[in-house]
Structure 1
Amino acid sequence: MKGDLVFMLFYFLFFVSFLREARAAELVEDNINNNQKNNTGVYIVYMGAADSTNGSLRNDHAHILISVLKRNQSALLHNYKHGFSGFAARLTEEDALSIAQKPGVVSVFPDPIIKLHTTRSWDFLKYQTSIKIDSKPNNSSTSSDDTVIGILDTGIWPESASFTDLDMGPIPKRWKGTCMKAQDFTPSNCNRKLIGARFYNDPEDESSEFLTPRDIIGHGTHVASTAAGSTVVGASYYGLAEGTAKGGSPGSRIAMYRVCTPFGCRGSAILSAFDDAIADGVDVLSLSLGSPAAFKPELTEDPIAIGSFHAVENGIIVVCSAGNDGPSSKTVANVAPWILTVAATTIDRDFQSNVVLGGNTVIKGEGINFSPLKQSPVYPLINAQSAVQANGDSVAARKCQLDSLDKDKVKGKIVICDSTSYSDSVEDKIEAVKNVEGLGVIAIDDLIRAVASTYGDFPATVISSKDADKILLYVNSTSEPVATILPTVTMTEYKPAPAIAYFSSRGPSYISRNIIKPDIAAPGVEILAAWMGNDTSQAPKGKDPPLFNVISGTSMSCPHVSGVAASVKSQNPTWSPSAIKSAIMTTAIQKNNLKAPITTDSGSIATPYDYGAGEMTTSGPLQPGLVYETSTTDYLNYLCYIGFNISTIKIISKTIPEGFVCPQDSSSDNITDINYPSIAISKFEGKNTKNVTRTVTNVAGDDAVYTAIVDTPSEVTVNVIPDKLQFTTNSQKQSYQVIFSLTATSLKEDLFGSITWTNGRYSVRSPFVLSSKSNV
């Protein structure tokens, strides 16, 4: 998230109202009006599945495209023909309205702007498992060298040591991707590690700096190295977080699809990247981006949901960040069931920049700075509210807002700034204090205190409100208060960890309460990874640009899961995306390094709305014992349950089974019944009883008997039938039923529990949520 703020990629630029399945004319006109207001003129025309995988166009696709090009040869921006069908083009109001009515068109909508969701984390994760793992994997002959992680992001810095191909074998022969040439990028920048690099731009965009796969932001480089970076010894951020940097799957290949610029990520480019990635032959797709929580696109009008559906149809697992709009509820992004959605947690590392008061009292602070101040407390200290300008706003001064402080009162002093409003960034406070020649900033903020930001040479740190009371008491009781701010030091084995990051977006899903989102959590706070090599803005005075950087966000948690997914895929090449997803979810943990339940930023016990199934482990998913496979029919039924008719579904999917029809009862309540690794039930009240069926597949390869263990709240009775499952062969499937009965009169709040199948060696856990509220 820090990277998003620094590079101004957190803009809520615009999103629009989209037409629903019926594509009524009045909704199309609303879209057109929104589009005209934003002066883009670009629409995405989504036409469902492609005819084949050989790049040929469907007849209806070709006909509509030809009619558009006849009017304007330069109108076409992107043509989607590999994994799905459609195009993006500049259209007039009349053209957009006309195309929306044509047979074979699922949706037409203005090109949206999607935002980015932005070492030791892997060492920390290594020990976060309670499962005994074989010394040899199931398929020891396979190699992660043949696994390709495709990343849709801001590009890549190919010269980074994290992308060296030392000791890597030849590029897999099945790979069909390319390394595009640009002014600052040639195919020679690719190697056996970085095997693909593409970029996407509006042909009318004359900004040549964006016409390249090269990263000019840093975000994509950071994400790529987290997922699959090669091992780099002695990596650090100017001496902080020093250690060996590596990706989750260091043997995997990387294919970068640069879809983002400093102004955001266009939906039309994202769809082009999905289309190319499917044809190129990636195994895992990692997207650290998504729609802001304020906008809730329908699935057929969400580029990520559309692209990921077709990627999964083609056997590619898609991992996406949950978003950085927490801690408010119902903020989670990327909620389609075919996506593996990732929340963010802390690790056991802390970047401390402490405050020393007169009398050598030490107050713990958080932040990354290279303070030039003396170690002893010799600098005058002032509460910002005491430095308000004559006839000024004392509240603004207390928060150190711009132009609120009196220079004569602040010059040469360390200033205590309140930060009760999240909208007031520490960077803004630093600027305000710098403008009046202040010497340093002590910001008070309980949320930001848990996530270190980088302040460069300027002495700045963030403290908790509890510690702020101590400082203010000292200031108010001392005639000449003094202090100093110490440069940052790295503290490891911090406890408790993991904890849910305050910024991590929370469930329940805005589309349906009958699927738990997010699905999983992974480290996303203060993550050290590779950076672009020319970023002087991040360099302290007199220092070269950093080769590694420390940033936070669900952008950082997403590639952690992508790396593990690639490792699972490499050892189990025939597993479906849903089997890999299940393996990651059912082996998650819910305890921190104090052996206590994982907590949120507020100290409350985390729930599936915060972290899905729990904190990902690195070894558990390699041997999960049992997996839940979500079938094509499950996903098609899901489309039925959320309101699509069979004719539209047949356009969307190329793998629809012969004779498939929507279930007679296709209400949204039945979303609970798709074979998902978690269970969510809404409208659960009164004397309600709900019967849920799940099917598991044995992947342990030997005879085993599993027994059900239920963790349930007192207000509910949960019966599992049968409560024992016996498997005799690998790939054998067994089904069971779960009967939920409410014992209380009504639910005052959502209830959480779990069902775990165990044979003494493997534990396969599924969380459940019971809610009295409706689906929306």
Structure 2
Amino acid sequence: MGMKGISIFLSTVAVLSLGSSSTTSTAKASSDQTSNSSRVYVVYMGSAAPNSLTSTRASLRTDHAHLLTSLLSRKANALVHIYRHGFSGFAARLSEEEARSMARKPGVVSVFPDPLFKLHTTHSWDFLKYQTALEIHSFPDSISDDDDDSTPPHTSVSDTIIGILDTGIWPESESFNDKDIGPIPSRWRGTCMKGPDFTSSNCNRKLIGARFYNSGDLITDNDSPRDLVGHGTHVAGTAAGSVVPGASYYGLAAGTAKGGSPGSRIAMYKVCTAEGCFGSTILAAFDDAIRDGVDVLSLSLGSSSYQPDLTSDPIAIGAFHAVEQGIIVVSSAGNDGPKRETVANFAPWLLTVAASTMDRNFESNVVLGGNKVVKGEGINLSGLQKSPVYPLIYALSAKTADADEPEARNCDRQSLDKNMIKGKIVICDTDVPIYTTDDQIEAVKSLGGIGVIFDRDDDNGIMAETYGAFPATAINLKDAKHIFSYINSTRNPVATILPTETVTKYKPAPTIAYFSSRGPSAATNNILKPDIAAPGVDILAAWPGNDTAVTPAGKEPPKFNVISGTSMACPHVSGIAATVKSQNPTWSPSAIRSAIMTTATQTNNLKATITTDSSSIATPYDYGAGEVTTTGPLQPGLVYETDTIDYLNYLCYYGFDTSKIKTIARTTPNGFACPEDSKADYISNINYPSIAISKFNGNESRNIRRKVTNVAGDGEVVFTATVDTPSGLSVKVIPDKLHFSKNNQKLSYQVVFSSTTSAPKEDMFGSLTWSNGKHKVRSPFVVSI
């Protein structure tokens, strides 16, 4: 098919892809009329046609066009999305047999069922009602105290564009005002799509683009870029919200709201609804974002219960092609912690972010009879008296005769005696995951209870959930013992729950959040993930202005909301990445990632080593290189640039063959071929800012190679290596001094790891730091047995 034929072909199928809200209805109708064996599959065909980003009419590769023609001649309503800008392929409704047939066609890299991804919030642990947010005084975030000057330096006008794949945006929020922002960059090729509740005038010089997508399966809340969930608005405000004085959640966390890069532009790609995010839609947004001209992509979403293979992971696929085009892709690590090997978004071309706490806390204390105060955490606007005058009962004591004990302890409505609950504050256990705090509060309220105290496992970490006007708070099990002792020793126990107060300068901070997913990656232990940690607990940022679900009685809907998750940590790093990009526009995505990782801190505000929520010393499996800093990445001294050949070799070592890699990659070096000896262990040698070695035993040594680029700007400069070596390991750096004669010069070195014991018993953690007296460039390493 020639170029003219391809253009005509595209015009005939465009209505079947992304353009109008009617597409969803058509696809849904098709779904209803299709056999149970038919579902949406993604057909991934690697790189796009060479001129697909620059031509006025996007072109398709010939094999791509032929495959689409064949499909549409058989199934007119099958097509869901076409990918033609950043990469090649499509999503279509196919039977399993048709999918297998597609996979055998020339030019096809992989065919896989359309996966449903989740927003990376804390729903599984029920920490917060909407499972999403964060802020911190010592780090960039969506809100800070008026006297906080720690936000990274920025200009009032910036051409850096942050693309956000999420639930949409609430454009009327003051966080997206375009005051003092200059004209939209001329290179911007995006659009502001219209919907029933969204017009082109909703975009401005701050919010320069807004797209939405029809998934073919999800029809709810999918006909406009407007955010009806809150997650996308919150994320966008955290990453690049404009400066808004006087922000708070009903007076809590009061201060001036601002994103990590307030001068950056925002482009929203609505790929998720409250139901989730389909992989085919995520790929469509990647495809558009690459063509639109974004500089940073921020994804607070990913897999949870499983880790897809690279050939079937839409985030890894889309991000690979975005990085090829010079776009840095920042992603959340997931909320399946604290178990090992739960980290999501493990591809080495992603910058993967874990979640940490900050030095601000929300306390809602319990006062017992005798005025004994028990520390609690939660966000409520309690109207109870401050004196302990309300009867107090443990839910188990109100169990009905035929109820099971666990259900009663966890405040199951059907398991409790209404007469015993009415008018009392109720203590509810939280060890049965099927009961959310919302469920428990509603149960207590329906039975006439006036307040709830949740007791939580100390190891789970306590963080502030938003309870609105209902008096509720959470305490740890250690403190709960004092309450139970009081109840058991008192004939008529009484208590009250105090309204929330904001506590600042809380210590220790940061700690790694309990829910934050941990490394190593289940896919490969030879790349350390996560890469970095950032604030992700109790973050205040912009919120949809009509959300009555989080509005206490008698109050106006909040303009800002407090939520938690690695979803909230991710945009903090996206904002920093945008700031680094604005000051170093020629830096590659890997140079920006390196600058962020090698300047991280491992020290908390007690000047001690950062710990987890359970007070254990945090390791690189918890936080990667450490907690992100705001100014360090602007002057990193040295950077590790992971170039094309590194990523291609990674694919070789991962198991791809040369022909498939040449189909995937937009450009490959002349004569490129996978090394004959390609195995997973060699992944350790791709030029990454951290080092990970797997399957290490006491009878061997491993030689790891790295290359650094001098960006210190000091002309002649010498960096000297120092190693923090764990017990049982010997680490030698060759050479241990790097002499640079000019800026941007590249020099290589080797690190030899050997054991000092015959049988290491546990994984070993350490670090290598290059310093010239002005800059410290730190790389964590992990040697796993």
TM-score (norm 1): 0.91
| 1:263-282 equivalences in 2 (<5 Å) | 263-282=275-294
Q: In structure 2, how many angstroms separate the alpha carbons of the residues matched to 1:430 and 1:616?
A: 36
Q: Does 1:103 align with 2:100?
A: no
The range that moved more, 405-414 or 568-577, is 405-414
| 1:145-294 equivalences in 2 (<5 Å) | 145-202=158-215, 207=220, 209-292=221-304, 294=305
Change (3 A) 1:261 1:79: same
C-alpha distance after superposition, 1:418-466 (max 9, x if no partner): 2234443222221222232112111110356522111111111100111
Please point out which of 539, 563, 584 is paired with 1:551.
Answer: 563
Deviation at 1:144, TM superposition (A): 5.8
C-alpha distance after superposition, 1:322-380 (max 9, x if no partner): 00111111110000000000000001011100000001100010111111110000001
Q: Which residue of 2 aligns with 1:121?
A: 135
C-alpha distance after superposition, 1:227-258 (max 9, x if no partner): 00000000001111110000000000000000
Q: Which residue of 2 aligns with 1:428?
A: 439
Deviation at 1:660, TM superposition (A): 0.8
C-alpha distance after superposition, 1:39-75 (max 9, x if no partner): 7611110000001223210000000000011112222
Q: Which residue of 2 aligns with 1:467?
A: 479
C-alpha distance after superposition, 1:195-251 (max 9, x if no partner): 0000001467665x4210000101000000100000000000111111000000000
Q: In structure 2, how many angstroms separate the alpha carbons of the residues matched to 1:744 and 1:81?
A: 54
| 1:687-702 equivalences in 2 (<5 Å) | 687-702=699-714
C-alpha distance after superposition, 1:83-111 (max 9, x if no partner): 00000111233422221111110011111
Deviation at 1:410, TM superposition (A): 1.4
Change (3 A) 1:376 1:239: same
Deviation at 1:141, TM superposition (A): 11
Q: Does 1:48 align with 2:46?
A: yes
SS at match of 1:41: strand
Change (3 A) 1:352 1:643: same
Q: In structure 2, how many angstroms separate the alpha carbons of the residues matched to 1:626 and 1:205?
A: 46
Q: In structure 1, how many angstroms separate the alpha carbons of the residues matched to 2:216 and 2:509?
A: 47
C-alpha distance after superposition, 1:507-531 (max 9, x if no partner): 1101100010000000000000000
Q: Does 1:295 align with 2:306?
A: yes
Q: Which residue of 2 aligns with 1:600?
A: 612
Q: Does 1:66 align with 2:69?
A: yes
C-alpha distance after superposition, 1:371-390 (max 9, x if no partner): 11100000011122211112
Q: Which residue of 1 aligns with 2:751?
A: 738
Q: In structure 2, how many angstroms separate the alpha carbons of the residues matched to 1:38 and 1:355?
A: 54
Q: Which residue of 2 aligns with 1:11?
A: none
**Are the aligned partners of 2:732 and 2:753 in contact in 1 as well (CA < 8 Å)?**
yes
Q: Which residue of 2 aligns with 1:8?
A: none
Q: Does 1:613 align with 2:616?
A: no
Q: Which residue of 1 aligns with 2:537?
A: 525
Q: In structure 2, how many angstroms separate the alpha carbons of the residues matched to 1:120 and 1:288?
A: 13
Change (3 A) 1:38 1:280: farther
| 1:632-671 equivalences in 2 (<5 Å) | 632-671=644-683
Amino acid paired to 2:550: Q
Q: In structure 1, how many angstroms separate the alpha carbons of the residues matched to 2:436 and 2:459?
A: 12
Q: Which residue of 2 aligns with 1:684?
A: 696
SS at match of 2:138: helix
SS at match of 1:42: strand
Change (3 A) 1:205 1:514: closer
Q: Does 1:80 align with 2:94?
A: no
Q: Which residue of 2 aligns with 1:481?
A: 493
The range that moved more, 398-407 or 333-342, is 398-407
Amino acid paired to 2:606: L
Deviation at 1:493, TM superposition (A): 0.4
Q: Which residue of 2 aligns with 1:25?
A: none
Amino acid paired to 1:43: Y
Change (3 A) 1:344 1:390: same
Q: Which residue of 2 aligns with 1:721?
A: 734
Please point out which of 733, 749, 767 is paired with 2:780.
Answer: 767
Q: In structure 2, how many angstroms separate the alpha carbons of the residues matched to 1:643 and 1:66?
A: 32
**Are the aligned partners of 2:692 and 2:783 in contact in 1 as well (CA < 8 Å)?**
yes
| 1:393-404 equivalences in 2 (<5 Å) | 393-404=404-415
Deviation at 1:637, TM superposition (A): 0.3
Please point out which of 708, 711, 716 is paired with 2:724.
Answer: 711
* % identical aligned pairs: 68
Deviation at 1:686, TM superposition (A): 2.3
Q: In structure 2, how many angstroms separate the alpha carbons of the residues matched to 1:205 and 1:425?
A: 25
Deviation at 1:408, TM superposition (A): 1.6
Q: Which residue of 1 aligns with 2:352?
A: 341
Amino acid paired to 1:183: P
- Consecutive unaligned residues of structure 2, counting only runs of 5 or more, are 1-33, 122-132, 142-148
Q: In structure 1, how many angstroms separate the alpha carbons of the residues matched to 2:179 and 2:206?
A: 8
Please point out which of 499, 503, 508 is paired with 2:511.
Answer: 499
Q: In structure 2, how many angstroms separate the alpha carbons of the residues matched to 1:224 and 1:696?
A: 33
**Are the aligned partners of 2:136 and 2:360 in contact in 1 as well (CA < 8 Å)?**
no
C-alpha distance after superposition, 1:10-58 (max 9, x if no partner): xxxxxxxxxxxxxxxxxxxxxxxxxx99776111100000012232100
**Are the aligned partners of 1:411 and 1:436 in contact in 2 as well (CA < 8 Å)?**
yes
**Are the aligned partners of 1:142 and 1:571 in contact in 2 as well (CA < 8 Å)?**
no
SS at match of 1:95: helix
Q: In structure 2, how many angstroms separate the alpha carbons of the residues matched to 1:547 and 1:141?
A: 25
SS at match of 1:77: strand
Please point out which of 620, 630, 635 is paired with 2:642.
Answer: 630
The range that moved more, 368-377 or 397-406, is 397-406
C-alpha distance after superposition, 1:598-655 (max 9, x if no partner): 1112110000000000000010000000000001000000000011000000000012
Q: Which residue of 1 aligns with 2:20?
A: none
Q: Does 1:674 align with 2:686?
A: yes
Q: In structure 1, how many angstroms separate the alpha carbons of the residues matched to 2:327 and 2:722?
A: 32
Amino acid paired to 1:49: S
C-alpha distance after superposition, 1:153-207 (max 9, x if no partner): 0000000000000010000000000001111111111000000000001467665
Change (3 A) 1:39 1:404: farther
Q: In structure 1, how many angstroms separate the alpha carbons of the residues matched to 2:212 and 2:573?
A: 24
Change (3 A) 1:122 1:563: farther
Q: Which residue of 1 aligns with 2:27?
A: none
Deviation at 1:749, TM superposition (A): 1.1
Q: In structure 2, how many angstroms separate the alpha carbons of the residues matched to 1:234 and 1:338?
A: 39
Deviation at 1:396, TM superposition (A): 2.2
C-alpha distance after superposition, 1:94-139 (max 9, x if no partner): 4222211111100111111110012983532169xxxxxxx9xx9x
TM-score (norm 2): 0.90
**Are the aligned partners of 1:144 and 1:571 in contact in 2 as well (CA < 8 Å)?**
no
**Are the aligned partners of 2:140 and 2:260 in contact in 1 as well (CA < 8 Å)?**
no
Q: In structure 2, how many angstroms separate the alpha carbons of the residues matched to 1:107 and 1:657?
A: 23
Q: In structure 1, how many angstroms separate the alpha carbons of the residues matched to 2:402 and 2:330?
A: 54
**Are the aligned partners of 2:134 and 2:536 in contact in 1 as well (CA < 8 Å)?**
no
